[in-house]
Chains A and B, each alone.
Chain A
């Protein structure tokens, strides 16, 4: 699960930092000879970090959502209009003057596309699975349509939460759909 790996990675890095800083601090009480060859060590430290960041960048950038399923034709397109404080989901384009929606059912194991916009302020369109884990999201902006493509591997009920602060009822703004 992505979030578990992220947390583990963070704790691992934090642990290394704490060990290094403590070690450096404790060494200052011992002697007064300083670090030998600091420029050489600094260069290697920089090089190792740069290579690691380079690897992380080249591995992760292609996994960005902008490229996801770019060459596929979605099996279904759902129009989403966010408004203070609800979501309209529809298989048809939504009229901003008279927004309306319907219950949505999506096919499992097929690429689907959400076309997300806002009728007033910035909102967030965040999809949570049945384990209450955030699996994907995009922003809902007035005057723009964000296209979010996803493939649901598991059938079930999915919740939508607003994840961009939008005012006093931001915390209760939600919707849902099913995947069959």
Chain B
């Protein structure tokens, strides 16, 4: 059973994430309004905002996923409060540094900080080393957290059991909970990509302090950057899925989901696909070995099979003709899974190399990854946040309130995303502060997106208020 300390620290994580989420959405809306010609930001301001928008969004939903699995992991193993606290402190420090680097220092490499752009200083001199230090702090803090959680799992379960390999036998003996299996698989990916981030930072520092005698290889740096970036974004989604496997049945008033041989098989294979799909970010680098390109498309395609045939189908089995007790929590999970599937269609289309040549770096790219998040992973985390907040406080939200929240999320999200998909099909480039005049649909789509993003923001603010109020109560309560 979890202690009061972990309740309180989880409350702090939730409030921190929601606050940064609201701030980041506002930055995003300002970006679209600038692209729509309603605002007139200087390009540097736009690109600095774009940089911190991307870094913050990936960062917060990653830590949200980690905080979620940490909290639920207490049901199975004792987790380290110290590691959780270290991660929280280092995350806050790192995030504050990154906000300073971008908004004050005007650092504007985009969140992917593609080499050698961070070293081509077109901003405050202190911004580049501070950026590298901040990213290192985050990587180290999150590594400590991830390694700690994995260690605690392995104290109770053997490696084979953590990966649920015994479920391939007729009589598995020890049963591995789905939550433990998925957390383990996901933590392997998390720890691997954070190690690569540390290596990447080390290579940057080496060049930065070498005074020109050590120059990195651009292709290697690109591979490392996208291995880190793709994998962390993918894993944060899977952290959300771990929570679904643990909570969906419980919240719906149904029997707990179990690990079967195909659940074990699907998730073990998923690990291989997650770790190799990142090659799809380098399709347009024709100097990349051809084998890697093909592995990229195959891994990206294959990753969708276990996701669809196991996770998505299991959600359908859990709902189809089943008298589910629908609440805000499991409705958010359910809609989030639908959003994840739709984002997956956009992703698999783009992961097809012969499509990528006309989609790469157009608005199709933000279309698919915003779908995964805005209508997918964010909803998974919001569901966990809401569920957590009502465990220890009175009065759940009314059905009317839930219906309003969900309607606005869906309407706002759909409109916002549609503008990106249509923009991508119109060949409109991504990451442009302003659009060339020849893209006649671009400004309209940008403003359309901004309006619907604002509609999406309304239920987020409502949930922010509702959930934070409860979390503050939990934080400042003196008893269990």
Residues of A within 8 A of B (CB): 2-4, 6-7, 9-10, 13-14, 17-18, 20-21, 24-25, 27-35, 38, 41-42, 45-46, 49-50, 53, 56-57, 60-61, 63-66, 84, 120-122, 124, 126, 128, 132-139, 141-148, 159, 161, 163-172, 174
Given A34-B321, A121-B120, A171-B436, A45:B313 Cβ within 8 A: yes
Q: Which of B419-441 contact A (CB under 8 A)?
A: 421-422, 424-427, 429-436, 438-439
Which residues of the other chain, B, contact A142 by a CB distance below 8 angstroms?
Answer: 116, 218
Beyond A6-B349, A164-B361, list 9 extra A-B contacts (CB 8 Å).
A10-B421, A28-B326, A35-B316, A35-B320, A61-B297, A126-B361, A132-B427, A147-B286, A166-B117
What is the CA–CA distance of A45 and B262 in the complex, to the nearest angstrom?
Answer: 14
Tell me how many residue pairs across A and B have CB atoms closer than 8 Å. 223
Which residues of the other chain, B, contact A57 by a CB distance below 8 angstroms?
Answer: 297-298, 301
Which residues of the other chain, A, contact B361 by a CB distance below 8 angstroms?
Answer: 124, 126, 137, 163-165
Interface of B is mostly: helix
Interface of A is mostly: mixed
Q: Are B322 and A28 closer than 8 Å at their CB atoms? A: yes
Give the residue name and chain of the A residue nearest to B427 (CB). Answer: A134
- Ranked nearest first, the 3 interchain pairs of A and B with the lowest CB-CB distance are A46-B309, A63-B354, A134-B427
Give the residue name and chain of the A residue nearest to B440 (CB). Answer: A132
Q: Are A164 and B305 closer than 8 Å at their CB atoms? A: no
- B362 sits at the interface (CB 8 A): yes
Shortest distance between the CB of A58 and any CB in chain B (Å): 11
Give the residue name and chain of the B residue nearest to A148 (CB). Answer: B286
Taking a contact as CB atoms closer than 8 A, the residue among A28, A167, A171 that contacts B120 in the complex is: A167
Size category of the binding interface on chain B: 35 or more
Residues of B within 8 A of A (CB): 43-44, 47, 108, 110, 112, 114-117, 120, 122, 217-219, 222, 262, 283-287, 290, 293-294, 297-298, 301-302, 304-305, 308-310, 313, 316-317, 319-324, 326, 334, 337-338, 341-342, 345-346, 348-349, 352-355, 357-362, 364, 421-422, 424-427, 429-436, 438-439
Taking a contact as CB atoms closer than 8 A, the residue among B317, B334, B429 that contacts A35 in the complex is: B317
Taking a contact as CB atoms closer than 8 A, the residue among B122, B285, B346, B422 that contacts A146 in the complex is: B285
Q: Are B122 and A167 closer than 8 Å at their CB atoms? A: yes
Taking a contact as CB atoms closer than 8 A, the residue among A6, A14, A63, A146 that contacts B287 in the complex is: A146
6 contacts between A and B (CB under 8 A): A2-B358, A3-B358, A28-B324, A122-B114, A139-B285, A168-B122
Given A3-B427, A21-B338, A64:B319 Cβ within 8 A: no
